[in-house]
Chains A and B, each alone.
Chain A
Amino acid sequence: MHATRVILVVATLISAAIFLGMTFDTVRQMGPRTHADQLSASVVEGKWLWQKNDCNDCHTILGIGGYYAPDVTKSYAIRGDAWLRQFLKDPAQMYPNTRQMPNFHFGDSEITSLVAYLKWVSEIDTNGWPPAPQGMALQESGGHMVFLAQHCNTCHVIEGSGGTIGPDLTHVGSRRTEDWIVEQLNDPRSHKADSIMPSFTQLPGDQKQELAQYLAGLK
């Protein structure tokens, strides 16, 4: 009995020592894994704004936090600069009549910091989390995939499903050409000066083309 106790205590102490060693190594590796050299003043200010406004009790980040709102780890990669700016300025405008984020009335420089922070977060090496969905491969059209991945249905309806903030796109192909749609994606204000649609310049060219082709086909 006495021997068992000694073994247990020694094993526990060894495990604590291993944990400390791994902590030391983890902190050392954290710099390159998180691009810590890019932690600019603006990124750090963004982190503090994120904390000060308690964003983490609705949203998860790196999968940790409240489960009430979307995970923001890859928000920058998915939505891009312009979309995030537009959303942070007035969240209700983009998602009417559904679960909403309060308007925090961020100033422009605060929004810049928050977006810089989200950009930095999106570049952390997370060992491949979150995993890419497998079901997307089942979608019939590449353009439709882009439409869903960019959350265009937040504002636009196709065949009865989607948001109502933007025009219904069910028959958009009978009104607009593929080129017109590409222009619209690059700069919505080129067609309508007071358009509230964010621009999608950050979308890779082939995806933009696929999306435009898909939409132009909706006659």
Chain B
Amino acid sequence: MLPKELLETLQREIASAEHPRELAVDIMFALQNHYGYLSDGALEEGAHLLSMTPLELEELATFYDFIYREPVGKYVIHICDGVVCWMNGYQSIVDHLCTKLGIRVGETTKDGLFTLLPTACIGYCDLSPAMLINGRAYGPLTSERVDDILNRLRAEAPQLKMAR
């Protein structure tokens, strides 16, 4: 169940929208930020709020890259595998990330801190190879830079505000 305050905020936003369905993605992001991912329960809650069927919302949830229908870590790393990053050493960066985190692409670390996912070109081709972590872009990456970033994130409290 959503806390009362968040629920009322979302209800207010939906009520003031000319076409409530226009907010489908915003609502999914809000639920995802609250629960950590878009669980089955969250999907049903979202559909109910939007007066859509769960299936109609599921159709959107599974379509978009940044809506997570499975549990993810507190930090979601989207590593860019676009052609420019590919040319500039994507493979060695992704290999390094997998080794350091002890996971494969698509998996989450045992401590629940990091999930590693691929993503299409993120528009940081001038800073390639690049990645996004919880909406923030990093690049150009080297193995050392990746180590620094991971160490810093391990020490910090996660920011959950941004679209991931």
Chains A and B are bound partners: no
